[in-house]
Structure 1
Amino acid sequence: MRAIPRRQFLRAIPRTFVRRQHHQHHKTYFQTPTQAPVAAASEAAQSTGRARSWWSWLSSTVVATTTGAALGLGGALALITWDYLQEVYEVGSDEDLDMLESIEEIFNDHIGVIQLRENPDYQEIQPYWHLSPDEQKHSMIPGPLNGTRGIVWKMFWNEKLKSITIFVFFGNGSEGWPDVVHGGMLSTVLDEALGRVAANTFPANMATNSRLDIAFVKPVRPGTIYQIRAHPDDLILDMKNGIASVPDTEERKREATILGVLLDEAVDGPNSQETTLVEAKGTYVAVSAETNNATAE
């Protein structure tokens, strides 16, 4: 079994564009200048310091450590407070719609999105289009995570390769720690990606996860575009014809293991390598329409 070629999925946002965009959306508390180093003590001072009693040294160290910790904690709390005082726009508000329009323009100018839209092997998916407005309100992603406060994404399915590619933007309401996307948000989005791959490879076209393992490799920061790729672990590639398939067994029709990654778009370039920020591996089981309807009721 051969892995999917890395070049099969295009991801090429200009480095300068991403860097500029990256800093435009990030909070100023990460731009606080560092203090200049304290000048080295004189030889006399060092000699005097060595001559101090052990108790004197211990007491001064405790005071300095306690003071430093208090100042550090106070500074951290101040930064966190400043971050969470920033307004998160309500879905549907004028500010939310204006920002959403700007994000859509970024997506439309994204070379990866452009090329996948022009590639007939990729079908752009509109998630949750089949749900009514009331049903969407009670679903996680089109409901609580909707709008610029949560996630905005463009999703593409490749039937030949049984794989999905998603370009995703995390809003300023997706943070856990300041300027870091919450792990629950990342897990939800990756589960969505892996689950769609599983469902599209099951005869019933429906799936639910029985196990999901997430490895958070590096922090994910809001305010920029990332890329998610997912495919079946048992994918069989026909390189000659450029197509893929999954084993046609009864067990495979009931259960599948799906792999996925979230990649950093900001390191993209002709000579750069992809940076994996999050890795995911999930086990999904097929769900029949009858079972799904019974569960919903």
Structure 2
Amino acid sequence: MLAGVGGPRAAQACLRSVPLTIPLRSRLLPAHPNPAIRIPRASLPPSQLRPFTSSRLLSADRTTPSSRTPDAILRPEPGPSSSSSSSSSASPPPRRKRLRPWLFIALGFGLGTMLRLTLSPPTPPAPGSDEDTYLSEQIRAQGSSLPLVQKLSTDPRYTSWDAYSGFSSPTTHTSKPHGGGSVVQSRITTGPLAGSRGLPFQRIYHDVATGEVVSVVYFGSGTGGWPGVVHGGALATLLDESLGRCAILRFPARTGVTARLELQYRQPTLTSGFYVIRARPMPDERDGPEKQARKLWVEGTLETVDGKTCVEAKALFVVPKGVKLKPLVEGF
């Protein structure tokens, strides 16, 4: 009819002007193969029809909450302080604390001073000077107040004395030796190692029943080999003398010489500190009384006042035959 009234072109214009509201669901549902069966197709009102855009394809969840919308993702979430009031401004980020320059300066100065004093310690006072005498008295007073010294001094099993106090009082290192002073100066620990720079404190404790000898000594700054560390030779000298004292006190002749000395250095011995030397006689039961009177093994250790072993020592002392040695007096 349309073609008869207006022709083909009029029919096409008429069809273009008529809006076709085909629901989206009707295009997706195929027609049933049996023409007798019809599938009801619900038509949606025009108000519910929405254009099919690419934004709906990007969203897998059609029930996306408003917080996942593109605007909400791009918009920064408000902090706790801004939730109370939308007009309040955001709080500034906390400032990072910076170390002050003076802290590094003080740290570097302290480390540098310690390194300088360790590698280049101050020169000790000259032996026999007033400063040396004063420092030696301070060291002896400090040594007498040690808990170990006080304990040994009150123990009735031990008799005590200062090293070589049985001889005459030592003269100064610079004076000419004479009389009894020459005997004291001939001992390395009371002659060249005298004064605050050497061995200003040597207290001896002897247990007559067991023969054990305990010596509490102080190593001055002049005994060092490496800076701040006592020389190994100085340790060997003092251990030889301390262990020899233990042996000579058991020999009836009250004299003897070192035949063998073995040392094992366990850890460094530091200068300007107190240490303890323990010497124990180790007689050989296979030797008779006559042989034990002329030969004796002695074991010893050099320890800190806290009991940490720095050096282990073992020595053999004998009374030589055919050589007349002057006996040592008590208190050597």
Provide the C-alpha distance between the structure 2 equivalents of 1:104 and 1:289, rounded to a whole number of angstroms.
41
Q: Which has the higher contact order (CA 8 A, sep 6+)?
A: 1
CA RMSD, Structure 1 to Structure 2 (Å)? 2.7
AA at the equivalent of 2:216: F
Q: Does 2:310 match 1:263? A: no
Provide the C-alpha distance between the structure 2 equivalents of 1:79 and 1:112, rounded to a whole number of angstroms.
30
Q: What's the CA shift string for 1:55-90, capped at 9, x where partnerless?
A: xxxxxxxxxxxxxxxxxxxxx9x877623xx21222
What's the CA shift for 1:126? 3.1
**Gap regions ≥5 residues in structure 1:** 1-28, 34-75, 237-245, 269-273
CA contact (8 A) 2:119 2:227 kept: no
What's the CA shift for 1:290? 6.2
Q: Does 2:179 match 1:143? A: no
Q: Secondary structure at the match of 2:293?
A: helix
Provide the C-alpha distance between the structure 1 equivalents of 2:143 and 2:265, rounded to a whole number of angstroms.
25
Provide the C-alpha distance between the structure 2 equivalents of 1:153 and 1:283, rounded to a whole number of angstroms.
23
Q: Does 2:317 match 1:284? A: yes
CA contact (8 A) 2:219 2:273 kept: yes
Relative distance call for 1:88 and 1:79 in structure 2 (3 A) is closer
AA at the equivalent of 1:82: S
- Pick one of 204, 212, 227 that aligns with 2:261: 212
Matches of residues 42-81 of structure 1 in structure 2 within 5 Å? none
Q: Higher helix fraction: Structure 1 or Structure 2?
A: 1
**How many residues were matched structurally?**
204
- Pick one of 114, 120, 133 that aligns with 1:82: 120
Q: Does 2:216 match 1:167? A: yes
Q: What TM-score does the superposition give when structure 2 sets the normalisation length?
A: 0.56
AA at the equivalent of 1:135: V
Relative distance call for 1:79 and 1:226 in structure 2 (3 A) is closer
- Pick one of 99, 111, 116 that aligns with 1:32: 111
Aligned to 1:192: 241
Q: What's the CA shift string for 1:214-254, capped at 9, x where partnerless?
A: 11110000111111100112389xxxxxxxxx975222112
Q: Does 2:290 match 1:250? A: yes
Provide the C-alpha distance between the structure 2 equivalents of 1:181 and 1:94, rounded to a whole number of angstroms.
25
Q: What's the CA shift string for 1:165-193, capped at 9, x where partnerless?
A: 01111000000011100011101111111
Provide the C-alpha distance between the structure 1 equivalents of 2:267 and 2:191, rounded to a whole number of angstroms.
27
Q: Does 2:230 match 1:181? A: yes
Relative distance call for 1:250 and 1:169 in structure 2 (3 A) is same
Aligned to 1:122: 158
Identity among equivalent positions (%) equals 30
Relative distance call for 1:276 and 1:283 in structure 2 (3 A) is same
**Gap regions ≥5 residues in structure 2:** 1-107, 169-179, 328-332
Provide the C-alpha distance between the structure 1 equivalents of 2:245 and 2:146, rounded to a whole number of angstroms.
23
What's the CA shift for 1:91? 1.9
Q: Higher strand fraction: Structure 1 or Structure 2?
A: 1
AA at the equivalent of 1:123: T
What's the CA shift for 1:133? 0.8
CA contact (8 A) 2:284 2:296 kept: no
CA contact (8 A) 2:167 2:183 kept: no
Q: What's the CA shift string for 1:124-153, capped at 9, x where partnerless?
A: 123323251122223211110111111121
Provide the C-alpha distance between the structure 2 equivalents of 1:222 and 1:178, rounded to a whole number of angstroms.
9
Q: What's the CA shift string for 1:180-216, capped at 9, x where partnerless?
A: 0001110111111100111111111111101111111
